[in-house]
Structures are given as C-alpha cells and as structure tokens.
C-alpha cells in the first residue's frame, strides 16, 4: 500500500453496518473533503446501493495493498481487528480501532504496537461513545489511584448477551447491576456492549485495575457512561448519555461522531 501526500484524506472503512454507514452519511452532511476509497465487507457479491461514490468493495486484508489509503478504520466487530490491523500497520498505514475489546488480548496489543512502531504508523483507539478520555489519559501521567466506569443501557440493548442468564431482562422493573469486575473481564464477556471498557482502561490504569459495572435499566432510553477517577491530579467525574443508533441499539451515535471528528482532524489546520 503506497501513501502519498495529498490534501484529501483517503479512508478505508472496515465494516458497512450501523457505524460505517453513519460515518459515511455524516461525512457527506458536513461536506468533508475526506474520501472513502474502499469498504471492506464479508460478502462483496451482495449488492450495496448506498456505498459512497467511487468506493470499491474489498473482503480480504491482502487487498489493502491495492488501495491507496491514508487511514483504515475498523467498525466491524472484535474478530476483524487483528487481521485488518496487521495488514494496515504492516504497510505503514494508521489503523483506528472501534472494537476495542479485541485489545483485551495482551499478546495482540503488544504485536500491533510493535508493528506500528516498526512501520512508523499509529494504532489509534478512538473515544467511541465516551467523553473525557483525553483528560483521563492526561491524568495518568501524574498517577491514577482509581478508575471506575459504569455502563447503563436499556434492558433490550443487552439482549443476545450473557446478561440474559444473569438477570431477567424482559421482566425488570428497576435498574439491575448484573456485572461488576475488571475491564478485561467485561470486554471479554460483553464485547459488543463493553468496548468502551477497554477504551477507559487503555487511557487510564489498565484492564486489570479498571473496575466496570454493567447495568440494565428498563426505564432508560439512552446509553449512559459514568466514569470516575482519582489520583494526584485530583478527581474526574464524567457522565455522557448517548442516543443509540437506530440500526443497532448496542452502538451509540457518538461512536460515529467521534470517528468523523478524528477524520476531520487529520487534515485540519486547527485541531481541538
């Protein structure tokens, strides 16, 4: 994969589900100069009428070598991270992770960081549905003593996960905390819903020391994240409530918005 200087950021999206399609729509709405040059899908033979103009369909990581891209963004699920990240970082192209739970595997995280360093590329963990990640990451340089993250979602958003065996999702009449443990355990057991658990952990004190509580709330209509941290820097208390994407109640609109912000900042003269 060759990368040449240009004013236009050329992006490859891995995945064309709720997040990928929302990113493409938002880029068009804000009239971004970034171009989606390729979209990776499992079945390229299936017709897709909504692809961005000029975007080609690919299905194998090896095909990245034929795409002239500046940035590869994963939005396809945990299993897609390792093969596509290896291909992108191995070619010296920055790779953005959305399914951060994949990085709970310490060996994979070490491997990808090594590839990034060797090839002068970046493995980028985007904030996803969270706010305050920048402050948390900054605070760790002075030392963090405690980081806790509560994830509150409507009961139906936990359907199809282990939560179904831990509480009566369809019969709840009050919020239930059905899991409390480390970020590593939360990401491994609830990869679709708790990607942000690893984001918080990587920004702060790591997967084994970060405490996660998962809550099903029958009255909730938004996905809420509550992060508290303390250390020599002081205290941090951040809460954000996100609207879920209509196509996927497990994903928040803020995830797509943060990706659009990231893409825009790559070429912006002013970055905030």
User: Which of 141, 149, 156, 225 is labelled catalytic?
Assistant: 225
Distance CA 259, CA 62 (A): 24
Burial of 29-68, coded b for 16+ CB within 10 Å and e otherwise, reads eeebebbbbbbbbeeeeeeeeebbeebebbeebebbeebe
Q: Please give, one letter per residue, the 3-state secondary structure of the chain.
A: CCCCCCCCCEEEEECCCHHHHHHHHHHHHCCCCCEEEEEECCCCCCCCCCCCCCCEEECCHHHHHHCCCCEEEECCCHHHHHHHHHHHHHCCCEEEECCHHHHHCHHHHHHHHHHHHHCCCCEEECCCCCCCHHHHHHHCCCCEEEEEEEEEEEHHHHCCCCHHHHCCHHHCCCCEEEEEEEHHHHHHHCCCCCHHHHHHHHHCCCCCCCEEEEEEECCCCCEEEEEEEEECCEEEEEEEEECEECCEEEEEHHHHHHHHHHHHHCCCCCCC
Q: HSE on the CB side for 140, CA within 13 Å?
A: 15
Is 225 considered catalytic here? yes
* Cβ pair 256, 22 in contact under 8 A: yes
- Give me the active site residues, please: 225
């Amino acid at each position: 994969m060759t990368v040449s200087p240009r004013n236009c950021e050329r992006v490859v999206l891995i995945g064309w589900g709720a997040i990928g399609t929302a990113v493409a729509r938002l880029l068009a709405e804000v009239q971004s100069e970034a171009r989606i040059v390729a979209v990776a899908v499992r079945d390229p033979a299936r017709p897709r009428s909504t692809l961005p103009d000029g975007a080609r369909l690919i299905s194998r990581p090896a095909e990245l070598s034929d795409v002239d891209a500046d940035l590869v963004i994963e939005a396809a699920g945990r299993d897609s991270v390792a093969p596509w990240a290896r291909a992108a970082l191995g070619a010296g192209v920055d790779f953005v992770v959305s399914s951060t739970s994949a990085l709970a595997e310490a060996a994979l995280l070490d491997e990808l960081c090594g590839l990034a360093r060797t090839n002068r590329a970046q493995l980028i963990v985007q904030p996803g549905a969270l706010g305050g990640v920048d402050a948390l990451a900054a605070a760790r340089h002075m030392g963090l003593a405690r980081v806790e993250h509560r994830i509150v979602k409507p009961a139906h958003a936990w359907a199809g996960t282990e939560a179904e065996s831990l509480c009566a999702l369809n019969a709840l009449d009050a919020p239930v905390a059905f899991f409390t443990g480390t970020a590593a355990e939360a990401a491994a057991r609830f990869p679709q819903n708790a990607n942000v658990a690893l984001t918080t952990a990587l920004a702060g004190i790591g997967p084994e020391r970060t405490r996660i509580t998962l809550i099903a709330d029958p009255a909730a209509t938004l996905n809420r994240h509550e992060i508290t941290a303390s250390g020599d820097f002081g205290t941090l208390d951040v809460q954000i409530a996100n609207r879920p994407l209509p196509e996927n109640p497990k994903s928040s609109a803020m995830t797509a918005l943060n990706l659009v912000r990231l893409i825009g900042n790559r070429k912006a003269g002013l970055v905030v």
